Amino acid sequence: MTKINGSDAMFQVLYDWGIDHVYGFPGGSFDSTMNAIHNWKDKIKFIEVRHEEAGSLAASAEYKLTGKVGVCFGSAGPGAAHLFNGLYDAKFDKTPMVAIVANVPSSRQDIDFFQAFDEDKWFLDASVWCRQPNTPEQLPILMDEAIRQAYERKGPAVLIVSKDFGWDKIEDNFRVNKDVHPEPNYAAPTKTSVEEAVKLLKEAKNPVVYYGNGAKHAGAELKEFAEKFKTPLLSSYLGKGVVEDDFPAYMGTIGRIGPKAANEIQGHTDLVVWVGNNSPFSVLWFPKDAKVIQIDTNSAMFGKRHSVDVAMLADSKKALRALIDAGEERTESPLYKASIADRENWDAWQASFKDSKESPVRPEPIWDVINKEAADNAVFAIDVGNVNMDHVRLLKMHDDQLWTTSGLHATMGYGAPAALVAATVYPDREVWQLAGDGGFAMMNQELLTMARYNMHVLNIVFTNETLGYIQAEQEDESNQPLSGVIIPDNDWAKVAEGMNVKGVVVRTKEEFEKAVKEWKKMDGPMLIDIKYTHEMPYSTELNSLDDPAFVKKYQAEDLKPFSYFAEKYGMETDAATGASQHEEEVEPEDPEPDTVSGASQH
Residue 590 has pLDDT above 50, yes or no: no
**What's the pLDDT tens digit per position in 160-196?**
999 888 888 999 988 888 776 667 778 899 999 999 9
Lowest mean per-residue pLDDT among 182-186, 211-215, 342-346, 472-476: 182-186
The pLDDT score that the predictor gives to residue 593 is: 47
Domain residue limits, the chain = 3-180, 191-337, 354-531
Average pLDDT, the chain: 91
The pLDDT value recorded for residue 469 is 83
Percentage of the chain beyond pLDDT 90 is: 77
Element of type H or E holding 410:
none
Q: 112 falls in which pLDDT band (50, 70, 90)?
A: confident
Beta-strand runs (E) in 408-456: 431-436
Taking residues 406-430, report their average pLDDT: 96
Give pLDDT, residue 596.
45
Order of strands across the sheet with 97-103? 45-48, 21-24, 70-74, 97-103, 156-162, 129-131
For position 114, what pLDDT does the model report?
60
Residue 1 scores a pLDDT above 70: no
514: Cβ contacts below 8 Å, ≥ 6 apart: none
Burial of 67 (0-12, 13-18, 19+ CB in 10 A): exposed
Instruction: Tell which CATH classification among 3.30.460.10, 3.40.50.300, 3.40.50.970, 3.40.50.150 matches the domain 3-180.
Output: 3.40.50.970
Fold classified for 191-337: Rossmann fold (3.40.50)
Q: What is the pLDDT of residue 183?
A: 73
Query: What distance in Å separates the CA atoms of residue 550 and residue 217, rounded to the nearest whole number?
Result: 40
Arch. (CATH architecture) of 354-531? 3-Layer(aba) Sandwich (3.40)
320: pLDDT strictly greater than 90? yes
Instruction: Give the pLDDT confidence of 262-299 residue by residue, as tens digits.
Output: 999 999 999 999 999 888 888 889 999 999 999 999 88
The answer, yes or no, to whether residue 109 has pLDDT greater than 70, is no
* Whole-number Å distance between alpha carbons of 261 and 271: 17
Stretch 464-474: mean pLDDT = 85
Q: What is the mean pLDDT of residues 223-246?
A: 96
pLDDT at residue number 115: 56
Same fold, 191-337 and 354-531: yes
* pLDDT tens string 394-415: 999 999 999 999 998 989 999 9
Q: Is the pLDDT of residue 120 over 80?
A: no
Using CA atoms, how far apart are residues 99 and 127, in angstroms rounded to an integer? 9
Residue 306 clears pLDDT 50, i.e. is over it: yes
Tens digit of each residue's pLDDT (9 = 90 or more) over 76-88: 888 999 999 999 9
Residues in the chain: 602
Whole-number pLDDT of residue 278:
87
> Would the pLDDT of 583 be above 50?
no
Confidence of residue 581 (pLDDT cuts 50, 70, 90): very low
Q: Which tens digit of pLDDT belongs to each residue from 45-62?
A: 999 999 999 999 999 999
The verdict on pTM exceeding 0.85 is yes
Round to whole Å and give the CA distance between 285 and 219: 23
Task: Let me know: does 53 contact 86? Beta carbons within 8 Å.
Answer: yes
CA distance 197 to 318: 14
User: pLDDT tens digit string along 478-509?
Assistant: 888 888 888 999 999 999 999 999 999 999 99
- Report, as an integer, the average pLDDT of 229-258: 95
How would residue 544 be classed by pLDDT, with cut points 50, 70 and 90? Answer: very high
Rounded alpha-carbon distances, angstroms, from residue 578 to 258, 309, 470 = 20, 21, 30
pLDDT tops 60 at residue 601: no
